[in-house]
A and B are shown apart, each in its own frame.
Chain A
Amino acid sequence: KNEVEQSPQNLTAQEGEFITINCSYSVGISALHWLQQHPGGGIVSLFMLSSGKKKHGRLIATINIQEKHSSLHITASHPRDSAVYICAVSTSQGTDKLIFGTGTRLQVFP
């Protein structure tokens, strides 16, 4: 079992739909990251969370430390949101590495 699990693995949506991507983890963390990877391969950091909720434009990220769970929401989705969304955690002990989920591939159709 992976230490960071994401669901769903693949997601298709119609433009305008509300989208939720989930991330569960089983290790102690100091922070959780939501990343976006476009087909060209580059990664952009969307959010870094250690508690509560953050909002940036149409993107909202929440984290529940007790339940070891985070969600990424996209409101009013758009085709340009199509990408792979990756959850990653900074572990709170050990060698301070990032542990990555396998990613959620999102395709938004016009």
Chain B
Amino acid sequence: EADIYQTPRYLVIGTGKKITLECSQTMGHDKMYWYQQDPGMELHLIHYSYGVNSTEKGDLSSESTVSRIRTEHFPLTLESARPSHTSQYLCASRWNTEAFFGQGTRLTVV
């Protein structure tokens, strides 16, 4: 069983609030990823990191930001949440060609 954790699992928050979605892995993987998934749609890469102090934007433009201060921790932040940010956010890590996924955070902005 992979050890990659996301918190919270579900979040309902008002417009304009700042939120941070947490992602942690205990496997020591350098490569970590954030994906966004709208209902019934495929996953889209929004951020990735190849190690500490390395972050890059993904294929899908996102107003969120990420940081990678520690190998095991890859949080995603929205400075001012909007209803358009309502989606599911999935965190993943990779070791060679293997991929491990978190349980996801379902975010609703009202």
Contacts and interface: CB of A to CB of B under 8 A. Distances in A.
Contacts of A33: 99
A50 B92 CA distance: 20
Interface in B41-79: 41-43, 45, 48, 56, 58-59
Contacts of B108: none
B41 A43 contact: no
B104 A43 contact: yes
Given A41-B106, A42-B104, A100 B97 contact: no
Contacts of A44: 101
Nearest to B59: A97
A90 B42 CA distance: 16
A41 B99 CA distance: 16
B88 A90 contact: no
Interface string A30-52: 11010100001111110010100
Contacts of B92: 43, 98
Dominant SS at the A interface? strand
B99 to A, nearest CB: 6
Contact of A98 (B37, B56, B88, B99): B99
Contact of A40 (B41, B45, B59, B103): B103
B101 A45 contact: yes
A15 to B, nearest CB: 25
Given A33-B99, A41-B103, A100-B43, 9 more contacts: A35-B101, A40-B104, A41-B88, A41-B104, A43-B104, A45-B101, A50-B97, A86-B42, A97-B45
Interface of B: 2, 31, 33, 35, 37, 41-43, 45, 48, 56, 58-59, 88, 90, 92, 94, 97-104, 106
Interface of A: 30-31, 33, 35, 40-45, 48, 50, 86, 88, 90, 95-98, 100-103
